[in-house]
A and B are shown apart, each in its own frame.
Chain A
Amino acid sequence: MTTVDARAVTGVAARVRRDPALAAAVATLWLLLALFVVYPLAMLLARIFWDHGELSVAGLASVLTDRHQIRAFANSLLLALFVGVFGTLLGFLFAFTAARCRLPRAIVSTIDASVLLPLVSPPFTTAIGLIFSFGPRGLITYGLLGIKGFTVYGMGSTMLAETLTYFPIAYLTLRPMLAAIDPNIEGMALSLGASRRRVFRTVTLPLCIPGLANAFLLLFAASLADFATPLILGGNQFPVLPTQAYLQITGLFDFRGGAVLSFVLLVPALAVFLLQRQWVGRRFYVTITGKGAGQTPFDSVAPGVRWLLLAACIAVASLIVYLYALLLYASLVVALGANHAFTLQHYRVIFTEGLKPIHDTLIIAALATPLGGLYGVLLGYLVARKLFPGRRSMEAVSMINYALPGTIVGIAYLIAFNDPPFVLTGTALLIVACYVFRYGPTGIRTTIALLQQIDRSLEEASLGLGARSGTTFRRVTLPLILPAFFAGLGVVFIRSMTAISATIFLVSIGWTLITVKILENITELALGPAAAFSVLVVVIVFVVIAGIGRALRLLRAQGAPPVTSMLGGWSRP
C-alpha cells in the first residue's frame, strides 16, 4: 500500500467502504447504547438537577437534610459493610476448604450445589425461608421454642439473608484464585521451616488479599443495590435507600424524590465500581513462571483444622438447604406453622390466577436470553478484535447499566420512557431491553476474557491460508468463543427469571413478572403461593441451565479455553 492510499483510508468514509459490515454493526450498537444506556441516565440526571427550566440542587439538598433519608443512607452503607465483610469471610471459608482440604470430589460437588442455590433463585428466597423459620408463626421461634411475638424483621435478619444470598459470589471469585496459587510457593515456605499456620498467614493470605478486596467490593455493591430483601425483612425499623426510593415512587408517585434517592445510591456504587477496576484490578499477582504447577499439593491443612473447616462449611450449606427445603415444604402444605396438611392448592393457584406472570416472564426471558447472548458476544468481539474509533468508550458505556444498582436503572427507564419521544412504559420491549443491557455485559466480559486467551495468530493463520475474514470468523473465532455466548445466555436467562430491583418499576397490567408477583404475595401474606412460585422459578432455572450446560459441552470446540462457570461472570440482581 502506498502512502497516499494509507492516508486515504484514515477517513471515516474510506473505513466504511473498506468494511461496511463492521461500520454497520458499530453504528447499530452505538444507537442502541445511546437509547438504552445514555438516554435514560441523562433523563434521570435532568429530572434531578433540572427544575422549571433551570439548574437546581434543591431536590438533592432536601434529601441530604432529611434526617429520615440520611438514616436510610447510613443503614444502606452499614448493611453493605456487614454483608461485604461476613460474606467475604464465608466465601473464603468455602473457597479455602474446597481448594486446600483435599476433599473427595463428591463432597465438593455437594457443597457446590447447595452454595449455588441462592444464585439461581429470586434474591429474596432466603428471606422467605427466614420468615418461615423465625417469623411470628415461625417453625423454630414459635413452633419449636414457643416464643410469642418474636420479631424477625430488622437489620439482623436482613444482614443474615443477604449474606447467605450473596456469599456464593465471594466463593466463586476466591476459589479460582486460591486454585491458581502455585502449591509450590506454599511448599517452599514450609520447606524453609514455617509452620502450616505461618505459611497461611505469611504466604496464602497475603496472596489472596486482592481477591478478598474484590469479593468484598462485589458483595458491598450487591447489598447496596439489593431491594427485595430489605423490603421483606427490613420492616419499618430498618429503611434503606433502594426501598425508600421504591416507596417514594410507588407509594407517593414522587418520581423526582425517587430519582434523587437513587442518585444518592449512585455515589457509593460508583466509588465501589471504580475502586474495583482501578485499585484491585492492578494488584492481582500474576503467575511468574508458567511451568511446574502440576504437582499434587502437599497437606497444607492439619487434619484437625480440616475437619473443623469442613464442619463449618457443612453447617452453612445445611442451613441453605434447610431454607430451600422449607420453601418446598411450605409450597406443599395448607399453611406453614398452622396447618401442615398436604395440598397442591398453592400450585393450583399459581397455574390459574398466577398463569399470566409465568407466561409473561417466560416470554420475556425467551426474548431477552438470545438477544442478550448475541449482544454480549458481538460487542465483546468487536471491542477485543476490531480496531474502530471509540471502542474503549463503547466498552465503558456498555458496562454502565451493569455496574449501576438496579433501582437506579429501573427509575431511569421509568422516567425516560414514560414521555415522548420514546413512550415504551408498560411494554415487554422495555423489560427485555432492560435485561439485555443490564445482564448482557457479563457476556461481553466473558467474550473479551476468552479472546484475550486466544492468540491472534490463530486468526492470522486462517487468513494466511487464504480464508476471507468472514470465513475466519465463522470457522475459527466463533467456535472458540461459543462458550462465552452460552455463558452469556445462562446469565441473562437466570436474571430474566429472578431479577426484580430494576424491572419492578417497569411492570404493568399488560406485562408482569413472577418475581413481582412473589413480592405481592409476601406483602399480602399469601406465603403458600409465594413459596410455590419460588420453587417453580428454581426448577425452571435449573432445568434450562442444565440444558445450556449440556449444549455447551456438546458444542464446545476441542481445546477451546474453558469458561470457569456459567455463574462465574456473575452480575447483580
Chain B
Amino acid sequence: MMQAVGLRIDGLSKRFAHGVKGEVYAARDVSLDVQPGEFLTLLGPSGCGKTTTLRMIAGFERPDAGRIFFGGRDVTDLAANDRGIGFVFQNYALFPHLSIFENIAYGLRVRGQDGDSIIRAVSEVMALVGLSGYEQQFPAQLSGGEQQRVALARAIVIRPRVLLFDEPLSNLDAKLRVQMRAEIRALQRRLAITTVYVTHDQEEAMAVSDRIALMNRGTIVQVGTAQDLYHRPASAFVAQFVGRVNMVAGHLEQSASVSALGRHFVLHEIPPGVASGDPVRLVLRPEGFALSRGPIANGAVAAKVLSRTFLGEKIEYELDCLGERLQSVRYNAGAGALFEEGETIALRCTDETVIALKEENP
C-alpha cells in the first residue's frame, strides 16, 4: 500500500466563457488542505464549482491560477495520467468494449505490470468490492450498483495517491445509495486513501466525510466537520444548505440576549462583528422545538398547527407562532400523540437550540 499523502490546493481559479455573462468564474481562489488519509467532501448546490475543483485536482482541467500539491509535490503542470489518481465518475465511465476484469486491469496494464500480479491484484480488489465471479461479464450486463463497484475497484486497484469521486451515487436508487455510501466509507477507512468526494446531497456528505468543504458560487464558504457546519454555520447560506432551518429576525440586546417568539434567548456565542442593538438572525432547527398539549405556561408560547405531514417515523408540522411560520419535526411517539390541524399547542425552545447569525442584508 502506498503511503497516504496529503493534498493541498492553493488559490485555484478557473474561468469559463459564458454565452450571456461573458467570463464567469467556475472556481475562485479555492484553497484546501486535506490530511493524509482524510475523507473530505466538496458540498454545494449545482454550479457552485465543486466538480470543476475536483477536475482540476484530477488534471482534467487546467487552473487559470493557483497550485495543486500531492504530498508536498507540485503537480499543477502534470497531466492526469501522471498524477497517480483514482477517479470515480458519476456515470462510471466503464469501458464498454472491455470485460469487467479488463476494465479493472486497465490501469495495471498501463503500468506494465506482469500478468500474474495483475490477476492477483484484480482478484483481490474484486473480492474486496464483492464482485468475484463477474470477471468475464461486460459492463452493459451489470446493474447500476454493480457498475458502481467496478468503477470503484478500477480506481483503487492502482493504489492511487488520491482518490476522487464525482457524485458517484447520484445514478443509484435511494436504498442502494445509502448502502453504497457506507461501503465507500468503510473501504476508504480500511485503505486509508486520501479522498476528495463531490456531492450536492448534504446528508450523503455528512454520512461519509471526515470534513466537509461547503462551496457556493465558486468559493468555499465553510470547512469543518458535519457537526461544525450544522451547529456553527458561518452564514445563513450554510445554515440553510446543511439541514433545514427556521430564520427569525431580531435585535441583539444588552446581556447578549435576543427577544423572539415571545421569549428572550440568551446567546452562548455572539456572532463576530455584531454589537448591541444590531439586527441578527436567529436560526432554529425544526427538531429543536418541544411541542406539547396542555396549558401555555413555564416559558411556552402558543402555536397553531397549520398543516401536518405524516412520514411514519416522524411527523412534520407547519406552525404559526406569533405571526412567524415555523417548520417543526417530531419523532412519532404513537398514534395518540399526533396533533391535529387547527389545534393550538404549547411550543418551547431552549437557548441551546438557537444559533445567532449576523444579519447579511440589514
Within residues 178 to 198 of chain A, which ones have a CB less than 8 A from any CB in chain B? 182, 184-185, 187-196, 198
The reply on B87 being an interface residue by CB < 8 A is yes
- Is A295 part of the binding interface, using a Cβ–Cβ cutoff of 8 Å? yes
B contact residues around A196 at 8 Å (CB): 81
User: Are B61 and A182 in contact, CB atoms less than 8 angstroms apart?
Assistant: no
B36 in contact (CB, < 8 A)? no
Contact, CB under 8 Å: B91 / A288 = yes
**A191-B81, A192-B106, A298-B80 as given contacts; A291 in contact with B90, CB under 8 Å:** yes
Q: Across the interface, which residues of B come within 8 angstroms of A293, CB to CB?
A: 91
Bound complex: CA of A185 vs CA of B80, how far in Å?
13
User: Hey, which chain B residues are within 8 Å of A207, CB to CB?
Assistant: 96-97
Q: Which of A264-316 contact B (CB under 8 A)?
A: 285-286, 288-293, 295-296, 298
Residues of chain B within 8 A (CB-CB) of A298 are: 59-61, 80
Give A185 to B106 CA distance when docked, in angstroms. 12
Contact B60–A289 (Cβ < 8 Å): no
Q: Is the CB of A190 within 8 A of B79?
A: yes
Nearest 10 Cβ contacts at the A-B interface: A192-B107, A292-B91, A184-B93, A285-B96, A289-B91, A188-B93, A292-B90, A191-B87, A298-B60, A193-B110
State which of A182, A188, A285 has its C-beta within 8 Å of the C-beta of B87: A188
Q: List 7 A-B contacts (CB under 8 A).
A: A187-B58, A191-B59, A193-B110, A193-B111, A194-B110, A207-B97, A295-B51
Task: Tell whether B95 is near chain A: CB-to-CB under 8 Å.
Answer: yes
Q: Which residue of A lies closest to B58 (CB)?
A: A191
Q: In this assembly, does A206 line the interface, its C-beta being within 8 Å of a C-beta of chain B? A: yes
Residues of B within 8 A of A291 (CB): 90-91, 170-171
Residues of B1-23 contacting chain A, CB below 8 A? none
B286 part of interface (Cβ distance < 8 Å): no
Q: Is the CB of B97 within 8 A of A285?
A: yes
Q: Given that A207-B96, A298-B60 are known contacts, is A288 also in contact with B87, CB under 8 Å in the complex?
A: no
**A184 x B89 contact (CB < 8 A):** yes
Give Cα A291 to B90, complex, Å.
Answer: 8
Contact A184 B61 (CB under 8 A): no
Q: Is the beta-carbon distance between A189 and B79 smaller than 8 angstroms?
A: no
| Closest beta carbon of chain B to A194's beta carbon, Å | 5
Distance in angstroms between the alpha carbons of A203 and B154 in the assembled complex: 15
CB atoms of A289 and B80 under 8 A apart: no
Which of B139-147, B238-246, B313-321 makes up part of the contact surface?
B139-147
How far, in whole Å, are A191 and B80 apart by their CA atoms in the complex? Answer: 5
Kindly identify which residue among B84, B106, B111, B139 contacts A288, using a CB–CB cutoff of 8 Å. B139
Q: Do A189 and B95 contact each other (CB < 8 Å), given the known contacts A194-B106, A286-B140, A298-B61? A: yes
B93 and A185: CB pair below 8 A? yes
Within 8 A of A (CB), among B76-110: 79-87, 89-97, 106-107, 110
New A-B contacts (14) at CB < 8 Å, excluding given A195-B81, A288-B92, A289-B144: A185-B96, A188-B93, A188-B95, A190-B59, A192-B86, A203-B97, A285-B140, A286-B96, A288-B91, A288-B139, A292-B91, A295-B55, A295-B60, A298-B59
Report A-chain residues with C-beta under 8 Å of the C-beta of B111: 193
Q: How far is the CA of A303 from the CA of B111 in the complex (A)?
A: 24
With a cutoff of 8 Å between Cβ atoms, the chain B residues found around residue A193 in the complex are 81-82, 84, 107, 110-111, 158
Separation of A295 and B90 alpha carbons in the complex (Å): 11
Q: How far is the CA of A198 from the CA of B80 in the complex (A)?
A: 13
Measured in the bound complex, the distance between the Cα atoms of B108 and A194 in whole Å is 10
SS class, residues of chain A in contact with chain B:
loop
Provide the residues of chain A in CB contact with B144, threshold 8 Å: 289
Give Cα A188–Cα B106 distance, bound, in whole angstroms: 10
Given A187-B87, A188-B89, A194-B110 in contact, is the A288-B147 Cβ separation under 8 Å? Answer: yes
Roughly how many angstroms separate A187 CA and B90 CA in the complex, as a whole number?
13
Do B140 and A288 have beta carbons less than 8 Å apart?
A: yes
Measured CA separation A194–B94 after assembly (Å): 15
Cα-based distance from A285 to B89 in the complex (angstroms): 19
Least distance between B345 CB and chain A CB atoms (Å): 44
A208's nearest neighbour on chain B, judged by CB, is B97
Q: CA–CA, A198 to B111, complex, Å? A: 12
Least CB separation from A302: chain B residue: B79
Pair A192/B93 contact, Cβ less than 8 Å = no
* Shortest Cβ gap from B283 to chain A (Å): 34
Query: Are A206 and B55 within 8 A (Cβ)?
Result: no
User: Chain B contacts of A203 at CB under 8 A?
Assistant: 95, 97
What residues on A are CB-neighbors of B97 within 8 Å?
203, 206-207, 285
Complex CA distance for A198 and B60, rounded to whole angstroms: 17
* Contact call B94/A288, Cβ cutoff below 8 A: yes
Q: How far is the CB of B323 from the nearest CB of chain A, in Å? A: 44
A184, A187, A192, A202 interface centre (most CB from chain B within 10 Å): A192
Please name all residues of chain A whose beta carbon is closer than 8 Å to the beta carbon of B51 when the two chains form the complex: 295
Q: In angstroms, how far is the closest chain A Cβ from the Cβ of B17? A: 11
Asked whether, in the complex, the Cβ of B158 is within 8 Å of the Cβ of A192, the reply is yes
Report the minimum CB–CB distance from B252 to chain A (whole Å).
46
Report the minimum CB–CB distance from B96 to chain A (whole Å).
4
Give the complex CA separation of A188 and B110 in angstroms: 12
For the complex, what is the distance from the CA of A288 to the CA of B150, rounded to whole Å? 13
CA distance A202 to B105 in the complex (A): 13
Q: How far is the CA of A187 from the CA of B60 in the complex (A)?
A: 7
Given contacts A206-B97, A289-B171, A291-B171, contact A194 B91 (CB under 8 A): no
Residues of A within 8 A of B171 (CB): 289, 291-292
Smallest beta-carbon distance B138→chain A, Å: 9
Q: A288-B140, A298-B60 are in contact. Are A190 and B93 (CB under 8 A)?
A: no
**Minimum Cβ distance to chain A for residue B76 (Å):** 15
A481 to chain B, nearest CB (A): 30
- Contacts of A188 on B, CB cut-off 8 Å? 87, 89, 93, 95, 154
Contact A187 to B110, CB < 8 A, known contacts A288-B147, A289-B144, A295-B55: no
Among the interface residues A187, A195, A288, which one has the most CB atoms of the partner chain B within 10 A? A288
CB distance from B7 to the nearest CB of A (A): 15
User: What is the minimal beta-carbon distance from B344 to any residue of chain A, in angstroms?
Assistant: 46
